[in-house]
Homo-oligomer: A and B are copies of this chain.
Amino acid sequence: MHSNPFEAGTFRPLYMSDLKNDIQPLEASTMTDMVELRLREYLKRKSFVPGDALPKEQELADALGVSRNVVREALSRLRMLGMIESRKKRGMVLTQPDILGSLERVLDPLILGKNTLRDIFELRLVLEMGLADLIYLRKTPEDIAALETIVAQEVNKHQKPFRVEHEIAFHGKLYQMTGNDTYMRFQKMLLPVFEYVLDYEIQVNGQAEVGKVTHHDLVEILKTGDAEDFRRGMKAHLKPHFDRLKA
């Protein structure tokens, strides 16, 4: 039995990887797909800005030569993406989409394939390694104090719920210190996938290893060292995870 949750032999050659992105389908299969595409084109071409009002459903339907039903299905998609909002009588207005909202709906470890799970696991490691630069750009003494509080509350219990909770608190605070909401939310969304892979790991290999550099050490580095020191510390902290990738 191999200790890898991603399973060997599922690797796809790279040239196939994003073919779907390079060439777009000649014709979207259903009317709804086409209308969705047309609407997005329309919004771009007319360079609508958030707040602008859209034509009414019936007008769009007439202009596109399809039924109002089809238009509504397409609009429903845009509404889900947060691109538009609509209120009765007032019509529809363009809004600033919530770029991560749609990702959230799809990031279910149980549904994602092994390849994607592995990719996301790695992506999270990349995000952790990238913390250093932004943190050193913006950290404040208050942040450090908050981190120390969190570390002080570190329970010795190695049972899972406590441990995970603490991990999230500590790393979450680190992300917060970057002042980058999107970055923080993104990382937060990736957590379930990360946990899922680790759980699998533990189930197979017994106990999860832990790096030599602790949270306490990382805080010390933050106080005295520079960004490169911190990154080296983080790399050591995450070493077990990186080692996993080599296998």
Contact = CB atoms under 8 A, between A and B. Distances in A.
Interface of A: 11-12, 14, 17-18, 20-21, 32, 36, 40, 43-44, 47-50, 69, 72-74, 76-77, 80-83, 94, 96-100, 102-108, 110-113, 115-116, 118-120, 122-123, 125-127, 129-134, 137, 176, 178-186, 188, 228, 231-232, 235, 242, 245-246
A100 B178 CA distance: 24
A59 to B, nearest CB: 19
Contacts of A123: 180, 182-183, 186
A76 B120 contact: no
A23 to B, nearest CB: 14
A113 B130 CA distance: 23
Secondary structure at the A interface, as helix, strand, loop or mixed, is: helix
Contacts of A245: 134, 137
B112 A96 contact: yes
Nearest to A12: B181
14 contacts: A12-B181, A17-B185, A18-B184, A43-B111, A49-B111, A77-B77, A82-B106, A96-B113, A99-B107, A119-B182, A123-B183, A126-B127, A127-B130, A231-B231
A130 B123 CA distance: 9
Nearest to A21: B185
A105 to B, nearest CB: 6
A125 B116 contact: no
Given A76-B77, A115-B181, 12 more contacts: A17-B185, A18-B185, A43-B111, A49-B110, A50-B111, A73-B76, A102-B102, A103-B103, A125-B130, A130-B130, A133-B242, A228-B232
A188 B103 contact: no
A133 B129 contact: yes
A130 B126 CA distance: 5
Contacts of A103: 99-100, 102-103
